[in-house]
Amino acid sequence: MRERERPMSSQPFGTRLRAAMNQRGPLCVGIDPHQHLLDQWGLPDTAESLASFTYGVVDALAEHVAVFKPQSAFFERFGSAGIAVLEEATIRLRDAGALVIIDAKRGDIGSTMAGYAAAYLAEKGPLACDALTVSPYLGFGSLQPAIDEARAAGAGLFVLALTSNPEGPQFQSARTTAGPTVAGAVLDGLRDLNADAEDLGSFGAVVGATIKSTGENLDIRGPLLAPGLGAQGGTAAGLTKVFGTAVHNVVPSSSREILAAGPTPAALQDAAARSNDTFRAALGY
């Protein structure tokens, strides 16, 4: 695999994210190579097909969309060959001026978390991306190695806070010993990390677009990654109901609704453009 040709920008992730969304629109395209999507594209379920699918999406959209979110699991299932595709796709996307959030939901403690951070967030890490999704359920303090690496590299984090899966509230709505919910404590921690940001901080939350409403304060002065749009039932019109006054900080993520339009580049570009225009209007871009 070729080495990265450029390090991360000296600007913080939040600054780069706002600029990219202002320029290209807020849409984040999820790259989720499910077997059924490979089937829809007429491809067998192989590592070679994974590469054809992924690079087809990248080559069609990298210069048009601000943010991409590859789901690591669908690359990992092909072993080292799949990881090589994820690595190459990340390089191609960033070389085209897009930002890459790798959706890996890593979470651990101490040196193990530092190892994940070195892989995904360090400037010369093998999977160096612009931001990484992480899990706080070993305690918010367990994220410190990733926070430190992200700050040093100008990268960002998206921390699981209010996910839309039905099992989520069992943990996220539980009360901490200090009183707030677990989700509320996560949001408070992110708000503290972003306290010095002039506009958009680099430490964001993952908040499902289908949670309908919440009593939590989502104004964390950072980005709010909103999966679950399109095929999973979330709508652009519904984002204001979920996010309220923080809606301008939402990074709306759509996957199957756009990927299913392939494999032709024109069809992918048309689907992305229509979705992006809808989110521009809904989020005030």
- Band (pLDDT 50/70/90 cuts) for residue 118 is very high
Angle between helices 110-120 and 144-153 (to 10 degrees): 30
CA max distance for the chain: 53
- Band (pLDDT 50/70/90 cuts) for residue 231 is low
Q: How big, in percent rounded to 5, are the helix, strand and coil portions of the chain?
A: 45, 15, 35
Which domains does the chain possess? 13-277 (3.20.20.70)
Q: Considering only CA atoms, which of 200, 198, 160 is closest in space to residue 20?
A: 200
Among 86-90, 92-96, 127-131, 206-210, which stretch is predicted with the lowest mean pLDDT?
Answer: 206-210
Residue 171 has pLDDT above 90, yes or no: no
Mean pLDDT of the region 92-110: 97
CA 272-245-32 angle, to 5 degrees, is 30
Q: What is the pLDDT of residue 168?
A: 85
Residue 164 or residue 28, greater confidence: 28
Q: What is the pLDDT of residue 214?
A: 83
Among 78-87, 112-121, 177-186, 215-224, which stretch is predicted with the lowest mean pLDDT?
Answer: 177-186
Residue 242 has pLDDT above 60, yes or no: yes
Residue appearing with tokens 């093998």? 126
- Band (pLDDT 50/70/90 cuts) for residue 5 is very low
Q: What is the pLDDT of residues 138-153, one digit of tens each?
A: 999 999 999 999 999 9
Q: What is the pLDDT of residues 23-33, one digit of tens each?
A: 999 999 999 99
Angstrom distance (rounded) from CA 61 to CA 57: 6
Query: For the chain, what percent of residues have pLDDT higher than 70?
Result: 96
- From 105, 124, 212, 241, active-site residue: 105
Q: Are the beta carbons of 159 and 204 closer than 8 angstroms?
A: yes
Is position 105 annotated as part of the catalytic site? yes
Alpha carbon dihedral 22, 217, 104, 35, in 10-degree steps, equals -80
Q: What is the pLDDT of residue 9?
A: 59
